[in-house]
Chain A
Amino acid sequence: MTLHLTQVNLTHANGVQALRGVDLHIGASEQVAIIGPSGAGKSSLLNLLATALRPDNGELQVLGERAWQLSARQRQRLRARIGLIHQAPPLPPRQRVVTAVLAGKLGQWGLGKSLLNLLRPVDVPGARAALARLDLSDKLFAHCQQLSGGQLQRVGIARVLYQAPEVLLADEPVSAMDPVLAEHTLSVLCRHARKHNVTLVASLHAVELALAHFSRIIGLRDGQILFDLAASEVDRELLDKLYANEQLQSPPITPAPLSVQIPRC
């Protein structure tokens, strides 16, 4: 088991309980999508899996290690093997794209190499290759502040691809992209995961994308897992239940009459 959650509760600093009694097991090189209404705890769950947040109780195992029972140094070493794609990529506006991408390997480099890389990028071909897969190699030497939201999001993905982690977590990785680009980017992620036997867990707003690209779907609502099924077993009724909103007049559901023809990646 690559990712292993047992009876995990998570409360944020502001007192909001984000996750309640979550049990989740994800095996090596599985590809899982997390869907659910906003505020359901998708980001919290991914941050928890990335060891970026510490659970109140319960147990978290990543890559066979109990992340929160390790020493800080060992945990940093474990974290270098986990890649998290952030919804709003946290990149300094004045940093160059090449530096931002190469920063993915900071966890594997020593301090000397990291500092040298600031003076002169040590692996320009590597950064260019990662960006090229997302059709962004022409922005290699641009500053992050010159990019649009969708381009920044792709830089964030390129950084994690360059990091080459064993577990790839993605928090709304395509939320700022147009449909065609979103489709392309997700298939790049899935292909990468399959080729390198990487475990991929992504949260998505768009149900169609989740059903089209992922074999296993987890529905999250109010910090609890509502369903955990193969993509083919997810039907309209389940989605209605997942997104049901008592406060809005018309439930905003887009249950795609989906295209079984689209090849799953």
Chain B
Amino acid sequence: MLTRDTRDPATRPRLLLTLLALALLWPGIHFSELDLSVLMASDSQSEMGRFVSAFWPPAHGEEFIELLVQATLQTLAIATAGMALALLLAVPASLLASRALSLSAASRAGHPSYWGQLLRWPVRGLLIFLRSVPEIVWALLFVRAVGLGPTAGVLAIAITYSGMLGKVYAEIFESIDQRPAHALLQAGSGRLAAFFYGILPNVAAELLSYTVYRWECAIRASVVMGFVGAGGLGQQMDLSLRMFAGGEVASLLLTFLVLVLLADQLSRLLRWRLA
């Protein structure tokens, strides 16, 4: 009698899931050849120490600062232009891929019709393809096609990020309460109008925060792509690392820090304005 009173049907699945997660973690550590003891070895420690000690003081010569400002502006421009291009593709694709705008779902308790689901697959496939190739690979490709410089970086970000943004936007649209949009569809409204009146008000803050976060990621990605010749802070970083100019590397890293900090503050500001 007692066991029946205290039984929770969710206990067993939860326990099993925890065990499963632990069981999956072990091969993960094994296959990634993670070996923390390497960090403790004395020669690698002194090697890292020497490199890091050269970081101080950060380079602040007038000429270098000028270069730094130039490179920062270029990085920001690459990230922003790349995001803008990505949005051009991501917004329509997310609307097409999302079940939230399904007219059939509105009269089938949220389950879209078989045909609707089938038609959504090509769009989903396109988004998967766009984001499955890393931006660095696109950048290498475009550097060959359009030559060294920021254009390659912009195109690479636009392509990869349109895939990511489209997928996540579509999922954000589906994650909220669908009843407002369904009610509008049931009152004869068109799909896009139902989206703007029934879904957008609820997702705006989340969309904004994700977009700003992705913009921040695009800044970092544009840095990485600088290493393969796509301009901006990354290219400068590549040069400084090659010349073992620790001070310059430190200045560049500080600039990244400031950029990420600014992106964070911007996101907070926008969310606060929208709340």
B106 touches A52 (CB 8 A): yes
For the complex, is A79 an interface residue (Cβ under 8 Å from B)?
yes
Docked Cα-Cα span, A56 to B192, in Å, equals 29
A174: B residues at CB distance < 8 A: none
Size of interface on A: residues with Cβ below 8 Å to B: 36
What residue of chain B has the Cβ atom nearest to residue A52's Cβ?
A: B186
B183: A residues at CB distance < 8 A: 84, 86, 90
Mark interface residues in B22-62 (1 if CB within 8 Å of A CB, else 0).
Answer: 00000000000000000000000000000000000000000
User: A107 with B189: in contact, given A52-B106, A54-B107, A90-B179 (CB under 8 Å)?
Assistant: yes
Docked Cα-Cα span, A81 to B111, in Å, equals 25
Docked Cα-Cα span, A50 to B190, in Å, equals 16
A78 touches B188 (CB 8 A): yes
Mark interface residues in B171-207 (1 if CB within 8 Å of A CB, else 0).
Answer: 0000001011011111111101110111101101000
B108: A residues at CB distance < 8 A: 13, 54
Docked Cα-Cα span, A169 to B186, in Å, equals 12
For the complex, is A12 an interface residue (Cβ under 8 Å from B)?
yes
Q: Which listed residue, A72, A83, A94, touches B187 by the CB 8 Å rule?
A: A83
Ordered by A's residue number, 26 sampled pairs between the chains whose C-beta atoms are within 8 Å are A12-B109, A13-B108, A52-B106, A52-B186, A76-B188, A76-B190, A77-B188, A78-B188, A79-B187, A79-B188, A82-B187, A84-B186, A86-B179, A90-B179, A90-B182, A92-B180, A92-B201, A93-B201, A95-B201, A106-B189, A106-B190, A106-B193, A107-B188, A114-B189, A114-B190, A114-B196
Please provide the chain A residues from 24 to 80 with a CB less than 8 Å away from any CB of chain B in the complex. Answer: 50-54, 72, 76-80
A90 touches B187 (CB 8 A): no
For the complex, is B158 an interface residue (Cβ under 8 Å from A)?
no
B219: A residues at CB distance < 8 A: none
For the complex, is A262 an interface residue (Cβ under 8 Å from B)?
no
For the complex, is A122 an interface residue (Cβ under 8 Å from B)?
no
A80 touches B188 (CB 8 A): yes
**Least Cβ–Cβ distance between B184 and chain A, in angstroms:** 6
User: A106 with B197: in contact, given A52-B186, A79-B188, A163-B187 (CB under 8 Å)?
Assistant: yes
Mark interface residues in A105-118 (1 if CB within 8 Å of B CB, else 0).
Answer: 01111010011001
What residue of chain B has the Cβ atom nearest to residue A118's Cβ?
A: B196
Known: A79-B186, A106-B189, A111-B192. 16 other contacts (CB 8 A): A13-B109, A76-B190, A77-B188, A80-B187, A82-B188, A83-B187, A86-B179, A92-B198, A94-B201, A94-B204, A103-B184, A106-B187, A106-B190, A114-B189, A115-B196, A163-B187
A95 touches B187 (CB 8 A): no
B186 touches A118 (CB 8 A): no
What residue of chain A has the Cβ atom nearest to residue B106's Cβ?
A: A52
B184 touches A51 (CB 8 A): no
For the complex, is B103 an interface residue (Cβ under 8 Å from A)?
yes
A107 touches B196 (CB 8 A): no
For the complex, is A185 an interface residue (Cβ under 8 Å from B)?
no
B contact residues, range: 20 to 34
Docked Cα-Cα span, A93 to B199, in Å, equals 11
A79: B residues at CB distance < 8 A: 185-188
B190: A residues at CB distance < 8 A: 76, 106, 111, 114
Point out residues on B near A: beta carbons under 8 Å.
103, 106-111, 177, 179-180, 182-190, 192-194, 196-199, 201-202, 204
A106 touches B184 (CB 8 A): yes
Mark interface residues in A86-98 (1 if CB within 8 Å of B CB, else 0).
Answer: 1000111111000
Point out residues on A near B: beta carbons under 8 Å.
12-13, 50-54, 72, 76-84, 86, 90-95, 99, 103-104, 106-109, 111, 114-115, 118, 163
A86: B residues at CB distance < 8 A: 179, 183
A76: B residues at CB distance < 8 A: 103, 185, 188-190
B184: A residues at CB distance < 8 A: 103, 106
Docked Cα-Cα span, A82 to B183, in Å, equals 12
What residue of chain B has the Cβ atom nearest to residue A93's Cβ?
A: B202
**Least Cβ–Cβ distance between B193 and chain A, in angstroms:** 4
Docked Cα-Cα span, A92 to B204, in Å, equals 11
A78: B residues at CB distance < 8 A: 188
B186: A residues at CB distance < 8 A: 50-52, 79, 84
Docked Cα-Cα span, A12 to B109, in Å, equals 8
**Least Cβ–Cβ distance between A166 and chain B, in angstroms:** 12
**Least Cβ–Cβ distance between B182 and chain A, in angstroms:** 7
Closest 3 CB pairs of A and B: A107-B188, A80-B188, A106-B189
Docked Cα-Cα span, A98 to B63, in Å, equals 57
B193: A residues at CB distance < 8 A: 106, 109, 111, 114-115
B201: A residues at CB distance < 8 A: 92-95
Docked Cα-Cα span, A118 to B190, in Å, equals 15
A99 touches B197 (CB 8 A): yes
B197 touches A94 (CB 8 A): no
What residue of chain B has the Cβ atom nearest to residue A53's Cβ?
A: B107
Q: Which listed residue, B107, B180, B194, touches A91 by the CB 8 Å rule?
A: B180
B202 touches A72 (CB 8 A): no
